Amino acid sequence: MTARPVRLEREGDVGLILVDRPPVNAISQPVRQGLLAALQEAALDPHLTSVVLACEGRTFMTGADIRELDAAPAEPTLGRVTEAFDALEKPVVAALHGTALGGGFEVALACHARVIAPDGAVGLPEVLLGLIPGAGGTQRLPRLAGPIVALELIATGRQVSAAEALKLGLVDEVATDVRAAAMTLARELAARGARPRVADRPVPPCDRTRFETAVTAVTRRARGHIAPSRAAEAVGLTLSTPFPEGTAREQALARALRQSMQSRALRYLFHAERQAARPPAGSQPRPLVRVGVVGGGSMGSGIAVALADSGFETILVEADAAARSAAEHRIGTILDRQVQAGRLSTEARGERENRLASALDLATLAHADLVIEAVPEDSTIKRAVFRALSAIVRRDTVLASNSSALDIETLADVVDAPDRVLGLHFFNPAHVVRLIEVVRAARTARAVLATGLALARRLRKLAVVVRMAEGFIGNRILLRWRLQCEYALEEGALPEDVDAAHELWGFAMGPFALTDLIGLEDAWNARRRRGAHPVRERLAPIADWLCEHGRLGQKTGAGWYLYRDGKRLADPEVAGLIARASALRGIHRRAVPASAIQERSHVAMVNEAARILAEGVAARPSDIDVVMVHGFGYPAWRGGPLFEADAIGLAEILRRAEAIAARDGPGWEPAPLLRDLVRQGRRFADLDT
């Protein structure tokens, strides 16, 4: 790190302010102080007629230093910095490269013009940390792009490419030599005596009804997340409030959010995600160019698309011509949907297809650097695949299983170099869901583990390292969570009631809709493998009955719900099975409040998570929160079940767990670790390393 994070250089009559704060030029207090000092120096230099703001390194300023957000704002605030750029009597042009995000883009908006590199991107992603822009971003962006566009960008935190930024009027020029172009523009503005302040621009005309409709949509999508609604409130100020008053009210909203529990939760997750994916010290991943996938079902096809999307030469191997044709059809459907949604151009679709080949012979994988097995969840089938691959691929080829529950150790047993075996548990749909559980078996080499983590990064996915245990982290917690929800069904609720309670809690999808999406058969097979539970735990038979009726979820058109013409429908047949289960247990059905459903779900998650931690399956509590947020839709703004448990208080969580055990019997006793933490006056956060 340089001693001076900001310096002023002179290029003839142009003052070049350079920010040099590796690795991402975060706008920390020293940077803010340096920017003000450089501006003052440029203002006082009579030889300088204009100023260019640029950054060293691989990117423009990427926003605040997140470590500072837990303390009171330190002077000078970012608002003071943007005001100083805005007020400078000499024209200032921002030269943007890499990503100009958050406070970095707010500073650029306060400049008098902006030039961006062709591969640059801009955005105001504060909402992803439970915040809103607080240095004029919500007031300046609508004056350039219009209130409705600004609302969409700020409420979602979406990044905008250079081409789109130019189209929306967020930048004035796209240039390969961005500094040279910015200097030319700065000189032109100085020659004209022009200093076009965004704050002086009128807000483009906006249909109030359309804007209110957009605000309603933002609130609905937020599902309890406060920041998007506050962003809408701030943007809405531009429709009738002068700029100075609008920025003052924006800053007040931003300050309140900074201290909110939701923002604390999202900042916690930000750090947790980076900690979870950290590779083992001193390890180097193996190079990956060619990757194979064995099995082209819904998971295998999704994995193949994700690999091709990320530039890998991908070969998908199926058992016979019919299965191969079905896999090719699935892949084509996925790519078609990406094109229809505007996420993929027709040209890029063709490039994906060129990188993705299919075959019927495992021998085509002889030169693969990594092979991912995605065949049906049957140990015998998987062992046969691994045994065959061991005889075909190079000895240094990494062999990975996408199993969601089976013992990776038994697969390594049939491989000639068992240290190259690991689990890569993708979540369905594999090309969409961001999470991968990277399963470290007892013999997995450090370099192989590092390779799995490097693959996840290349796929732009979030990896969490787990130790071998049936169900790993996510599916193991899901089993307990769903069982409590099935008890609620027996007591009087219906699937749509349980799912609605979870949506009120902030989930995008409730557990029964989620199970239908994942498919019911893997959990059914796992229950049959386990056989009778050793503690005679209360078991709900409804899920087994559904599977016995061939209702395996969305792929069969029926599971907990019926699926017709793309719609999810409540099914009287399922209601009948639930009533039958209640009668068999002698339960008089009654209404189950949404709050009771939410509480029992949360406690089931926390109690099982405590067992997982005690067994060493997860390295730290925050890893479990990352899995539940990114794999199962736990509301990110709540931080995850363990973060939320700490916020509620573990003594209260223990009391609730004891009540569940008293009601539901053996198998629901509070986890010893939970009792220990309460006795010691500690939190889950105290176990994070």
Spatial distance between the Cα atoms of 601 and 633, rounded to a whole number of angstroms: 13
* Shared domain check, 60 and 205: yes
Residue 529: what pLDDT? 67
* Cα Rg of the chain (Å, integer): 28
Q: Which residue intervals of 549-684 are DSSP H helices?
A: 572-585, 594-615, 621-632, 641-648, 650-664, 672-680
The CATH number covering residue 27 comes to: 3.90.226.10
Domain of residue 676, residue span? 475-687
The CATH number covering residue 499 comes to: 1.10.1040.50
Which of residues 428, 444, 468 is at a domain's end?
A: 468
Spatial distance between the Cα atoms of 571 and 586, rounded to a whole number of angstroms: 23
Is 81 in contact with 123 (CB distance < 8 Å)? no
Residue 264: what pLDDT? 96
Q: For residue 536, is pLDDT > 80?
A: no
Residue 66: what pLDDT? 85
CB neighbours of 649 closer than 8 A, spacing ≥ 6? none
* Shared domain check, 195 and 129: yes
Give the number of domains in the chain: 3
- pLDDT average, residue stretch 357-370: 95
- pLDDT average, residue stretch 518-542: 72
Residue 533: what pLDDT? 47
- Residue-wise pLDDT tens digits, 440-476: 999 999 999 999 999 999 999 999 999 988 889 999 9
Residue 525: what pLDDT? 77
Q: For residue 35, is pLDDT > 50?
A: yes
Instruction: Decide if 550 is inside a domain.
Output: yes
Dihedral sign of CA atoms 647, 651, 654, 658 in order: negative
Instruction: Decide if 563 is inside a domain.
Output: yes
Q: Measured at the alpha carbon of residue 128, what is the angle toward residues 567 and 145, in degrees to the nearest 5?
A: 85
Amino acid at 148: I
Confidence of residue 531 (pLDDT cuts 50, 70, 90): low
Confidence of residue 74 (pLDDT cuts 50, 70, 90): confident
* Shared domain check, 352 and 427: yes
Q: For residue 606, is pLDDT > 90?
A: yes
Residue 342: what pLDDT? 83
Q: For residue 427, is pLDDT > 50?
A: yes
Residue with tokens 């001693």: 3
By three-state DSSP, how is residue 94 classified?
A: strand
Residue 534: what pLDDT? 46
* Shared domain check, 496 and 371: no
* Shared domain check, 243 and 146: yes
* Shared domain check, 480 and 455: no
Within 13 Å and on the Cβ side, how many CA atoms surround 141?
Answer: 34
Query: Which H or E run includes 144?
Result: helix 137-145
Q: For residue 1, is pLDDT > 50?
A: no
Residue 530: what pLDDT? 65
- Residue-wise pLDDT tens digits, 480-497: 999 999 999 999 999 999
- Residue-wise pLDDT tens digits, 312-333: 999 999 999 999 999 999 999 9
Confidence of residue 137 (pLDDT cuts 50, 70, 90): very high
Q: What is the dihedral of CA 674, 679, 685, 687, to 10 degrees?
A: -80
The CATH number covering residue 389 comes to: 3.40.50.720
CA 221, chain centre distance (Å): 16
The residues facing 464 across adjacent strands are 437
Question: How many other β-carbons are positioned within 10 Å of the β-carbon of residue 357?
Answer: 15
Please state the φ and ψ torsions of residue 611, each to the nearest 5 degrees.
-65, -40
- Residue-wise pLDDT tens digits, 243-252: 999 999 999 9
- Residue-wise pLDDT tens digits, 196-219: 999 999 999 999 999 999 999 999
Residue 535: what pLDDT? 47
Q: Which two tokens stand for residue 36?
A: 């003000």
DSSP state, residue 280: P
Spatial distance between the Cα atoms of 285 and 449, rounded to a whole number of angstroms: 8
> Which has the closest alpha carbon to 519: 579, 478, 485?
478
- Residue-wise pLDDT tens digits, 143-164: 999 999 999 999 999 999 999 9
Catalytic residues: 106, 126
- For the chain, the average pLDDT equals 94
This prediction's pTM: 0.91
By three-state DSSP, how is residue 673 classified?
A: helix
Which of residues 433, 468, 503 is at a domain's end?
A: 468
The residues facing 292 across adjacent strands are 315, 371
Which of residues 407, 437, 468 is at a domain's end?
A: 468
Instruction: Decide if 309 is inside a domain.
Output: yes
Spatial distance between the Cα atoms of 327 and 325, rounded to a whole number of angstroms: 5
Residue 532: what pLDDT? 46
Instruction: Decide if 514 is inside a domain.
Output: yes
Instruction: Decide if 487 is inside a domain.
Output: yes
The DSSP code sequence of 172-209 is SEE-SSHHHHHHHHHHHHHHHT----GGGSPPPP--HH
Confidence of residue 64 (pLDDT cuts 50, 70, 90): confident
The DSSP code sequence of 447-512 is HHHHHHHHHHHHTT-EEEEEES-TTTTHHHHHHHHHHHHHHHHHHT--HHHHHHHHHHHT-SS-HH
Helices 261-276 and 621-632: angle between axes, nearest 10 degrees: 100
Instruction: Decide if 277 is inside a domain.
Output: no
* Shared domain check, 480 and 461: no
* Shared domain check, 165 and 235: yes
CB neighbours of 26 closer than 8 A, spacing ≥ 6? 61, 62, 63, 64, 65, 66
* Peptide bond connecting 242 to the previous residue in cis, omega within 30 degrees of 0: no
Burial of 54 (0-12, 13-18, 19+ CB in 10 A): buried
Spatial distance between the Cα atoms of 52 and 14, rounded to a whole number of angstroms: 7
